[in-house]
Amino acid sequence: MPDNLRSTPITMPDEGARELVVNMGPQHPSTHGVLRVKITLNGETLEAADPDIGYLHRCFEKISEGLTYPQVMPYTDRTDYVAAITDEWAYALAAERLLGVEVPERAEYIRVIMGEVQRLLSHLIWFGSFAMDMGAVTPFLYAWRERETGYDFMETVTGTRQLYNFLRIGGVRNDIDDDGWQALDRFLKAMDQALIEYDTLFTKNPIFEVRAKGIGPLSAEEAIAFGASGPVLRGSGVARDLRRDEPYSVYDRLDFAVPVGSSGDAYDRYLVRMLEMEQSLRIIRQAIKQIPPGDIQGKVPKAMKPTGEAYARVEAPKGEVACYLVGNGTVNPYRMHWRSPCFTHLQLLPHWAPGNLVADMVVLIGTIDIILGEVDR
Amino acid sequence: MGKAERASAMEASIKEQFPGVATEITPRGELVARVSPGGYLDFCRYLRDEQGFKFLSMITAVDYPPDRFELVLYLDAYGASGDAPAMQVMDTRTRQELGPRSAGLTTSQGTPVMVAATLASIIVKCDVPHDHPVIPSVTPLWPTANWHEREVYDLMGIKFEGHPDLRRILLPDWFPGHPLRKDFTSKPALREPEARPWPVVWPDQKDGREPGE
Amino acid sequence: MFGIPEPWWSVVRAVVWALFIIIFLAVNAIVAVWLERKVSGKIQRRIGPQRVGRPIGWAQTIADVFKLLVKEDVRAEATDKWVFLLAPAIPFAAITLMFLVVPWGKNLIPLNLNIGLLFVVAVTSFEVLGLFMAGWGSNNKWALLGAMRTAAAMISYELPMVLAILAVGMTAGSLNMNDVVNAQSRVPFILIQPVAFLIYYIASLAEANRTPFDFTEAESELVAGANIEYSGLRWAFFFLAEYGSLVGTSAIAATLFLGGWRGPILPGPVWFLIKTYLLVYVAMWIRWTLPRVRIDQLLDFGWKFLLPLALADIAVTGLVLALL
């Protein structure tokens, strides 16, 4: 292959060096997508890890400069494809702030319900993959069983199982009908049982505790300096949740607790996500009680030609997803930048790697809860 | 002190220290500061050390042809304050609610819980000229800037001086050009080999010629 | 016997036993793989194979074997040719030899060695060699990593296993497998030596590379470890050896601790198979429930916990035997 076609410089260790440079990915069962990590090993111990991303880069930001504001919505789904609603939400918030659109209450409650169901679905995938990476294949199958019930609900309401295009600038696409409420009820009941089962099967397993405790430690100051957000930040003992600290939608009327870890290792981040799932169930149940009748779509100008800038952040399951939108008075956004938490968190991998073993690499990648669609956009 | 008062107080102290920096406050209470490339690094250091902006959310750039890029940073200052939104904190190990978030809360393992409400947010903007797109890197100040700056370099072509590892991140190393610039378009029909911005090598050709040539 | 003169009778007997063991191992691989897929299916709330050989999918593995037979035998050019090609044969040979001293019934033992237990120990230890040859010969860093881990794990767990077998030998008063079974005429050794049974069973899971000790094929980390570069029938040999190792160590455990072929009403070989497959089933149950241990934790567990425990067990056994 000609030298100019090498995608990253390959550095070979010198003759007789004790280090082995191994390539993990881009096709690998545990990197959760097309991620390539160049690992330098000394025996079984990692000395350095250099992630190489960009395999799933689809030029999202450039493409959106050629689309109209409503047309960008389906693309936002495809960044974090397992938690599409929260990504749509970030974009919808940014566009609504630019355009000065008010979202009716019923639509806000529907957004909250869908968003929290997404949080559950995203954490279920994370849980299943995390367990499977450690060798316990069964929790993965169990998590997917619960996801099927969740998919039934999403399909009943939005029409598709995974990539929804459900939120609109100013509201949501359609209301939840009776079938939808029943499907939601089934999903909540299934999740109640499931969370107890996961605890018994996996959380309390001593092998899991030994594999996860002490791996990937992150102090509170380090976490903030590295731009961590979401469960990664909360696992390090920092009490911050964008649903409370940068309030959006109707979260200020809903009552929920925010789990915060103590030692910032993989075990704490695991517990933060498991407890977040329980809190999501609590939020959904309150929203179901509180939801008022009304419109589901606010008033939006016919020609969307806003000027100005907006930076909207939401608490996605992975962390802080933000959308920076610049409008210049035309129908297309002048610039759209997507701030992705997985991209920021992946920088922690080279920071954590030295000193750990190869078997910990999958735990480290799993504890960030990485989705390559979001990393590469 | 509420968010608006904090923002005004901050604006006042910035004007004192850095008279050349233009500031304004957005309707949402975020501060916007425009800095020149010369004063950029000092201003960022001041923000981090004196004003407590320890969280860097993103670094991005917007292309305003023909003469400038606008580098945009979004920073947050975290801390405890009287008007911090109420939050019930739960301990992961015991699964019990520890109580409302407040300074001095500790977990069951004895580690302190850091209260990280948003005290203030600031958008730092810096105009980088097109003909000399070089600006100091803030990676020594905020380690998270590392990859954000690499992405800006990759897609916009702004070079960051002092960056520990400035190389392309999303695109392959040999990619010609910086796609997010406004003059990079893929409009010409991609059938014309000259229009393609990347070299094409077919498996049975050894030197990049089109098959059949 | 049967009117055949002496030297020929031994030859005929040896050939018949050899064929029987090889066929048994082949059939066992088919049955064990099917059992594994069904057991894992039930544990994971799904059905497992159900179409090929309705309704329980018994012919699934046979179909898979046919597929593997017709696959291309790929060998990368840079591999160490003979090491790579011969590696699959060695674990299989080790397992086959292990079955030489396993008693199937009263006087139904292929080779009645006076040092049967010692023979078992000696023969299982060269399984490692085959896996290591696979890892080295593949000229692949991931395979090498997998092979090194496996070698470390298997060697570490041999010592507790040997000591557990020794404890049984001491209790039975002999190293002959027939004597061990006969010594369990009143009470199976699992009740007299429960600690030795646990040590032996755990160590045998490590030897057979089953979760929680399955680094050789830690799919999520090394993508199949030492077996990465193998395809088709050579790969099938590794799997034959893995399931053979599982049933072999279960068979030994059944003989040493559960009374072998002893049992009322049913004939000897049937009891033997029941006990063996019961232990195989438990091993599969464990595999689909527990996550994987990390290599350094595994070595810690083997050297710092199992080995002292096994030594203590021997000491106590010796003391009790001396006092009785």
Interface probe for C, chosen from A204, A207, A362, A365 (most Cβ of C below 10 Å), is A207
Asked if the Cβ–Cβ distance from C290 to A361 is below 8 Å, we say no
Contacts of A135 (CB under 8 A, 6+ apart): C211, C212, C214, C218, C220, C290, C291, C292
- Decide if C49 is inside a domain: no
- Decide if C6 is inside a domain: no
pLDDT at position A16 over 80: no
- Decide if C115 is inside a domain: yes
pLDDT confidence band for A311 (50 / 70 / 90): very high
SS (H, E, C) C89-112: HHHHHHHHHHHHHCCCECCECCCC
- Alpha-carbon distances of A111 from A122, A178, A296, rounded to whole Å: 16, 17, 10
The predicted model gives B183-207 an average pLDDT of: 60
ipTM value for the complex: 0.88
pLDDT at position A197 over 80: yes
- Decide if C3 is inside a domain: no
For residue A26, is the peptide bond before it cis, meaning its omega torsion is within 30 degrees of 0? yes
| Phi-psi label, residue C42: left if phi above 0, alpha if psi -120 to 50, beta otherwise | alpha
**pLDDT tens for each residue of C289-301:** 888 888 788 888 8
**Gap between the Cα atoms of C178 and C298, Å rounded:** 34
pLDDT at position A9 over 50: no
Collect all residues of chain A within an 8 Å Cβ-Cβ radius of residue B202.
Answer: none
The predicted model gives A48-52 an average pLDDT of: 89
Quote the pLDDT of residue B56.
Answer: 93
Asked if the Cβ–Cβ distance from B169 to A311 is below 8 Å, we say no
**pLDDT tens for each residue of A282-300:** 999 999 999 999 988 988 8
**Touching check for B60 and chain A: CB below 8 Å?**
yes
Q: Which of A158-167, B79-88, B168-177, C40-49 has the highest mean pLDDT?
A: A158-167
Contacts of A220 (CB under 8 A, 6+ apart): A236, A237, A238, A264, B114
DSSP class of B111: P
Q: Please report, for chain A, the start and end positions of each structural domain, with discontinuous segments joined by +.
A: 3-52, 60-349+359-376
What backbone torsions phi and psi does residue A259 show, to the nearest 5 degrees?
A: -75, 135
Query: What are chain B's domains?
Result: 3-80+116-174 (3.30.460.80), 88-114 (no CATH)
Quote the pLDDT of residue C57.
Answer: 80
DSSP class of A251: G
- Average per-residue pLDDT in chain A? 88
For residue B66, is the peptide bond before it cis, meaning its omega torsion is within 30 degrees of 0? yes
Quote the pLDDT of residue B211.
Answer: 53
Collect all residues of chain B within an 8 Å Cβ-Cβ radius of residue A313.
Answer: 57
- Decide if C164 is inside a domain: yes
The predicted model gives C312-320 an average pLDDT of: 90
C214: nearest CA partner in chain A: A135
Quote the pLDDT of residue B192.
Answer: 59
The predicted model gives C147-154 an average pLDDT of: 81
Which has the closest alpha carbon to A184: A149, A159, A158? A149
| Nearest chain A CA: its distance from B18 CA (Å) | 24
The predicted model gives B194-205 an average pLDDT of: 60
Quote the pLDDT of residue A74.
Answer: 93
Interface probe for A, chosen from C140, C144, C294, C296 (most Cβ of A below 10 Å), is C294
Asked if the Cβ–Cβ distance from A357 to C220 is below 8 Å, we say no
Number of CB atoms found within 10 A of residue C173's CB: 11
Quote the pLDDT of residue A5.
Answer: 37
pLDDT confidence band for A2 (50 / 70 / 90): very low
**Touching check for B36 and chain A: CB below 8 Å?**
no
The predicted model gives C127-131 an average pLDDT of: 85
- Decide if C293 is inside a domain: yes
pLDDT at position A42 over 90: no
Identify which has the larger pLDDT, C111 or B76: B76
Contacts of A196 (CB under 8 A, 6+ apart): none
Q: What's this model's pTM, rounded to 2 decimal places?
A: 0.86
**Touching check for A62 and chain B: CB below 8 Å?**
yes
- Decide if C249 is inside a domain: yes
B-contacting residues of A 180-219, CB under 8 Å?
A: none
pLDDT confidence band for A318 (50 / 70 / 90): very high
- Maximum C-alpha span of chain A: 73
pLDDT confidence band for B103 (50 / 70 / 90): confident
Asked if the Cβ–Cβ distance from B142 to A322 is below 8 Å, we say no
The predicted model gives B6-10 an average pLDDT of: 85
**Gap between the Cα atoms of A327 and A85, Å rounded:** 23
B abuts A (3+ Cβ pairs < 8 Å): yes
Number of CB atoms found within 10 A of residue A305's CB: 14
The predicted model gives A48-75 an average pLDDT of: 90
Asked if the Cβ–Cβ distance from C292 to A210 is below 8 Å, we say no
Which has the closest alpha carbon to A254: A67, A80, A109, A58? A109
Amino acid (1-letter code) at residue B162: G
Chains that touch A (3 or more CB pairs under 8 A): B, C
Quote the pLDDT of residue A8.
Answer: 40
The predicted model gives C176-185 an average pLDDT of: 86
How many structural domains compose chain C?
1
| Of the listed ranges A12-21, A136-145, C55-64, the one predicted with least confidence | A12-21
Q: Determine the structural domain holding residue C273 and report its residue range.
A: 76-323
The predicted model gives A330-335 an average pLDDT of: 92
- Average per-residue pLDDT in chain C? 84
**pLDDT tens for each residue of C233-281:** 888 888 888 888 889 989 999 988 888 888 888 888 888 999 999 999 9
Q: Positive or negative, the Cα torsion across A345, A346, A348, A353?
A: positive
Strand order in the sheet with A20-24: A20-24, A36-42, A45-52
Which has the closest alpha carbon to A77: A104, A114, A107? A114
B-contacting residues of A 123-142, CB under 8 Å?
A: none
**Gap between the Cα atoms of A206 and A197, Å rounded:** 16
Which has the closest alpha carbon to A86: A158, A156, A166, A182? A166
Q: What percent of chain B clears pLDDT 70, i.e. is strictly above it?
A: 86
- Decide if C212 is inside a domain: yes
Q: Please give the CATH topology (third level) of the domain spanning A60-349+359-376.
A: Cytochrome-c3 Hydrogenase; chain B (1.10.645)
